[in-house]
Amino acid sequence: MTFLSILAHDAIALPLSPGFPAHELRYIVENSQAKIFLSTTNFQDKANKVLAEGLEHKPILKVCEKIEAGAESTEKIKLEAMTENKGGFMLYTSGTTNRPVRSFCTMLANCC
């Protein structure tokens, strides 16, 4: 649900795995220049550790409760046609450089 909300606001989602070491997550957060770092309460300690040191660009940390259920009503939901290709997601995968490698995908285009 959070992922779809990010896309609906023409923003870029950057999913991170809490299983990654803090230094790798820190590299991804710094390299992507993320503006907001979302975490659930389960991974709040890991998020604080990632943001604790060594970042020139420090995003805002927002800790949220895990959403257990979707909306009970759909009356306020309004679907609109997409006119521009702004939202998408960014993934960091392992590369031959021994550093995570970034790729960017929009919802209507192929990955770069």
Q: Which residue has the higher pLDDT, 103 or 108?
A: 103
- The amino acid occupying position 29 is V
Return d(Cα 35, Cα 60) in angstroms, integer.
6
**Model pTM score:** 0.71
Confidence of residue 110 (pLDDT cuts 50, 70, 90): very low
Mean pLDDT of 59-86: 74
